[in-house]
Amino acid sequence: MPKLDLVVGARPNFMKAAPVVEALRTRFPDWDVQLVHTGQHYDRAMSELLFEQLGMPEPDVNLGVGSGGHSEQLARLLVALDARFASVKPDMIVVFGDVNSTLAASLVASRMLIPVAHVEAGLRSFDRTMPEEVNRVLTDSISTLLFTTEASAEENLRSEGVDPKRIHFIGNVMIDTLMKHREAASAIDLPEQLGLAGKPYAVLTLHRPSNVDDEKAFQRIIGAIVEIARDFPVVFPVHPRTRARIAASEAAAAATNLILTEPLGYLEFLSLMQRASVILTDSGGIQEEALIIRVPCVTLRWNTERPVTLTGGANVLVGDDPGRIVSEAHAALRGDRAIDVEPPAGWDGCAADRISGVLGDWFGSKIAN
Ligand code: UD1
């Protein structure tokens, strides 16, 4: 029976992998489906808590790779994954998204001639200064099966010369997870606990190196946030990468309406997003979640690899332009930003089932051959 290693490492991987593990183990109870955690993210709030809330099984193995410079982290990932795949000899590796663990696992697997399935393939920001863009391009180029979330992804892959037979439009597994947990998140009263009941407020996330590690960009964004917080509360769960910067920011310390929190659990963050008037973010996945929960999104980047979110006014790109950040956020907080969009095709809660169907066929035809 097929032996699969599903490899996860960083926070945004977990909500994508959860429904796929469940779908595969339910549909193919006799397959050996193992969950491999590289340990790229290791804080309880960045990892363990999400596993618990998402109802994910404990990883079968945690490689404990941890942080470090990107090269050091990648090198450790390659060595650890090489040892894992060499001893287990999986028939397929499944990887998710665009983090360093995704690239490392696909690279090691391809060297060992193990087929790779990439969930969330084909997205392109066309900005090679982002580590995630390089991870996406490289992972796709060595993957056997490419599972896409939106039409642009298939166009990108075709224009890169990928054999269309390798591309499978399956929709968005992260939305499977969102739909499954929406109700539980609604029952959490985090906005009330923060004193935000019935008030318009903004939620902010910020962790891209281009926004956080670049002093000028960081100051421009924080300046705009402080200005928004003069009129409306802004809740900001601070990513570990951003912690030192925000602690050193006098402007942030002086802002009365800027509510800083530790990274939140999946359900707490979803409860906060669901009741927000606007979401300001430089994350990829949050742009998609915002569309489904119909909360206006203001993306603190100049590009997005998820262009479907730009339809119907669901998402606007404002980069680090303080004037645009403030005006777009204020428009949403005053209720002046209408969203006119239906959920994209395949963002329907059934994406993981479609993946298990494709994998069943793929292994079925292998056995038949
Ligand atoms: C990674 C992903 C990014 C994703 C993000 C979500 C890459 C290239 N980037 O970025 O695409 O959007 O995860 O969070 O893979 N740290 C902790 N505790 C942890 C994890 C990290 O303190 O559990 C700190 C460490 O100081 C570390 C820094 O955060 O050096 C950055 O972690 P890293 O995994 O390199 O990248 P992220 O910025 O989290």
What's the pTM value of the predicted model, to 2 decimals? 0.97
Q: Is 322 in the pocket of ligand 1 (CB under 6 A)?
A: no
pLDDT score, position 368: 66
Give the number of other CB atoms < 10 A from CB of residue 62: 16
Q: How far apart, in whole angstroms, are the C-alpha atoms of residue 366 and residue 354?
A: 18
Pocket test for ligand 1, best of 38, 99, 132, 238 (most atoms within 8 A of CB): 99
Q: How far apart, in whole angstroms, are the C-alpha atoms of residue 353 and residue 351?
A: 5
Q: Are 39 and 9 in contact (CB under 8 A)?
A: yes
3-state secondary structure of 259: strand
Please tell me what DSSP assigns to residue 56. Answer: P
Q: Is 241 in the pocket of ligand 1 (CB under 6 A)?
A: yes
Q: Is 43 in the pocket of ligand 1 (CB under 6 A)?
A: yes
Which of 199, 225, 207 lies closest to 321 in space, CA to CA? Answer: 225
> Consecutive 10-residue runs of the chain (369 residues): their mean pLDDT?
97 98 98 98 97 97 96 98 98 98 98 98 98 98 98 98 98 98 95 94 97 96 97 97 94 93 97 97 98 98 98 97 98 93 97 98 81
pLDDT score, position 41: 98
Closest C-alpha to ligand 1, atom 13: 10
24: which 2 tokens? Answer: 């595969």
pLDDT score, position 338: 87
Rg (CA), the chain: 20
Q: Are 69 and 92 in contact (CB under 8 A)?
A: no
Q: Locate tokens 């190196």: which residue?
A: 209
Residue 319 one-letter amino acid: G
Spell out a b/e string for 170-192, using b for 16 or more CB atoms within 10 Å of the CB, else e: bbbbbbbbbbbbbeebeebebbe
How remote is the CA of residue 241 from the centroid of ligand 1, in Å?
7
